[in-house]
Amino acid sequence: MSNNIILSIEVLPVEMLHYIFDNLDTQTILYSIRPLSRLFRSVVNTYNRYVLDFNFISKSSYYLICQLIHPQNIISLTLSNNERISDRIDLFILLVDLRQFTGLRSFTLLDIDESRLNFILKRINLNLLTSFSFNIKKYDDRLIETAAALLSSTIARKALRKLEFDTCDRIPNISWPINYITEYLTPNNRINIDDLYKILQCSPYLHTLIMNDIPKGVINNLTSIYFRQLTSLSIKNLSVTIDELESFLLLTSSLVYLKLIGVGHMLDGKRWEQFIEINLPELDKFEFYFNEWTSTDQTRTDLELIIASFQTLFWIEHKKWFVACEYEHTTLKPNIISLYSIPICKSSVSYTPTYTKTLLSTYPTMMKNELLIMNNIKSLNLTLNKLTADDIQVKSVTAHHPLFRKVTEINLEFCDDWPLISLQSLFVFIDISRIVHNFLRTSTQSLFTGSS
């Protein structure tokens, strides 16, 4: 960086510099900006909106970051114990004073032992907490009452608006406060319908529910119960029948937004139309991505029959909900039919070369709006083989922008038939400058995991 540029930045007010820091990651602030001058060192030291995710920080950086940043300047903290970094939470506890986290607003604990969860919740300052997420990796039945009491106290924080947890045997033991003010709830795995009912009965302000699948339990026995406070529902990993799904959706008649991702026989547009008109009259936005497995080869005529049920006035004129139907031609069985709303609502996809699939859509100018269709995708799985290389050559002639221009994470699998061409050719798929996390592997083993 030239001296002129440094000087011009230094004249900015501290508040403006801190606003710029809001758009940078922690390691850039500490390693690239802090060493530039005494002024920058001072500005960095007084910055109090650090967002720390130790999931993607090396062990060497771990020590330095804990040394350079005062806990009171951290507003968001993610700690994790996974197979790659199994001791990180213990290390963190040794390096910092948990009582000094006076400004923490978002707190995430992943794959944590129950004993460590209790240790942290007893000590850390959560008075300003607005978002809390946890999943317990290792349980200790001797700690059931202690864990339930600490979790009950944590979720009762007056400022808490978002709660995410892995469903487990501890959930029924938690005391949910009356008139619970949380607005966003994400129970991962499959929560029991009784537990969900208990939470919603205490949560009149809860308007957004995000789940992996519909709740476990006999929903038919709850015909007098409705979750009318819910206006937004997302289910990320559906694996039930459409009859079971409809039974649950009958409880959510006030929905304005609905997002469904999963597998099953969900491809009947006429059935969806009738159900929505009768049972979800307020629904304004419907996003979905359904995969249906089939043991028989599908023809273009088969796909046209599916897509025709989504070409009625209800879908095209009234709701303006456009869909695409995709079928990949492969020798493997079973085959997959994919039906999805436009733009694609999934954040992660696996790319398939264009000429190995049939794609039909109700969108009037589908091919001209590919960039819009891929707008929500942040993570891309790409198999590098001869088919992909041939597809790259075709696309590179006409590509002016990357197909997946908002991707920040890429997983590359190298196959034996991948030609020795530069990875720079991937510009037809991604903006390489935006990649933050990458994972490389061969068809038999992992090669490299990195963050930029």
d(CA 410, CA 178): 44
Confidence tier at 50 by pLDDT (50, 70, 90): very high
Three-class DSSP category at 374: coil
User: Is residue 336 within a helix (H) or strand (E), and if so which, with residue range?
Assistant: strand 335-341
Please tell me whether the peptide bond between 204 and the residue prior to it is cis, using omega within 30 degrees of 0.
no
Tell me: the pLDDT tens digits for 217-237?
Answer: 865 555 567 899 999 999 999
Tell me: the pLDDT tens digits for 86-130?
Answer: 678 888 898 899 999 999 999 999 999 999 999 999 999 999 999
Instruction: State the DSSP code for 241.
Output: -
- Cβ atoms of residues 377 and 347 within 8 Å: yes
Tell me: the pLDDT tens digits for 252-304?
Answer: 999 999 999 999 899 999 999 999 999 999 999 999 999 998 878 888 899 99
**C-alpha 237: how far from chain center:** 12
Average pLDDT value for residue range 61-77: 92
Strands 348-350 and 379-384: parallel
**b/e per residue 348-368 (b: at least 16 CB within 10 A):** ebebbbeeeebebbbbeeeee
Contacts of residue 376, Cβ cutoff 8 Å, sequence gap at least 6 = 343, 344, 345, 346, 347, 406
Q: What is this structure's pTM?
A: 0.88
